[in-house]
């Protein structure tokens, strides 16, 4: 019997409890999850501070207790939206449904004939990458907005210090 596999993509800068609750929900609906780390080529900017490898660690370690098979795959952007879905297909295990809330992602997959399910983030106000990065820069408490495994990864790579250094050199964008 064919296994149902879902695709979920985000930038995960960083991976937070909002993303985690979406993945827990998807895990109840399919057999396997393919998690795409979008904009994999980006790192060391205020908007995208963490490398693809660091984001792989955040996600893989957070999902260790999840009783579902998952694959975490970094995906670099391509400068032609028209070929983006084929680009993803060339890098990932086959999937039959995409979970997203991003209008462009939804349009590109719909045009390619892929089934889409909307996946709104839980408690959007706090569970937001932008809000977490803002708190890190301002010495506010951010640790309760991400899985414990992500706190450990960010400590291990000295992520808050990196962000603070970038705020002196990288223009906000």
Question: Is 98 a binder of ligand NAP (CB under 6 A)?
Answer: no
Number of residues that bind ligand NAP (CB under 6 A): 22
Whose structure tokens read 């879905």? 85
* 123 belongs to the binding site for ligand NAP (CB under 6 A): no
Residue closest to 37 by CA, chosen among 72, 3, 5, 70:
72
Contacting ligand NAP (CB under 6 A), which of 7, 84, 95, 142? 84
Interface positions, 5-34, toward ligand NAP (CB under 6 A): 9-11, 22
Please, what is the minimum distance in Å from the beta carbon of residue 79 to ligand NAP? 7
CB of 9 to ligand NAP, least distance (A): 5
Tokens of 116: 């889409």
Q: Which of 58, 59, 105, 136 binds ligand NAP (CB under 6 A)?
A: 105
Task: Evaluate whether 6 touches 36 at the Cβ level (below 8 Å).
Answer: no
Q: Label residues 123-159 b or e (16+ Cβ within 10 Å = b).
A: eeeebebebbbebbeeeeebeebbbebbbebbeebeb
77 binds ligand NAP (CB under 6 A): yes
38 within 8 A of 150, measured Cβ to Cβ: no
With contacts defined by CB under 6 A, name the span among 51-59, 60-68, 124-132, 139-147 that binds ligand NAP: 124-132
Q: Which is nearer to ligand NAP, 57 or 146 (CB)?
A: 146
Three-state secondary-structure class, residue 73: strand
CB of 91 to ligand NAP, least distance (A): 12
Question: What one-character DSSP code corresponds to residue 138?
Answer: T
C-alpha torsion sign, points 129, 76, 79, 92: negative
Name the residue whose CB lies closest to ligand NAP.
38
Query: What residues line the site for ligand NAP (CB under 6 A)?
Result: 9-11, 22, 38-39, 77-78, 81, 84, 100-102, 104-105, 108, 119-121, 128-130
């Amino acid at each position: 019997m064919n296994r149902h596999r879902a695709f979920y993509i985000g930038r995960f800068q960083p991976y937070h409890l909002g993303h985690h609750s979406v993945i827990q929900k998807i895990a109840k609906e399919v057999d396997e999850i393919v998690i795409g780390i979008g904009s994999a080529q980006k790192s060391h900017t205020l908007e995208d501070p963490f490398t693809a490898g660091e984001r792989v660690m955040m996600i893989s370690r957070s999902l260790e207790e999840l009783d579902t098979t998952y694959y975490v795959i970094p995906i670099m952007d391509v400068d032609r939206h028209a070929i983006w879905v084929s680009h993803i297909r060339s890098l990932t295990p086959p999937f039959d449904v995409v979970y997203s809330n991003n209008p462009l992602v939804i349009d590109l997959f719909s045009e390619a004939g892929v089934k889409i399910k909307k996946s709104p983030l839980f408690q959007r106000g706090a569970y937001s990458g932008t809000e977490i990065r803002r708190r890190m820069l301002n010495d506010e408490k951010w640790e309760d907005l991400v899985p414990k495994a992500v706190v450990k990864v960010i400590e291990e790579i000295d992520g808050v210090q990196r962000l603070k250094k970038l705020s002196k050199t990288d223009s906000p964008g």
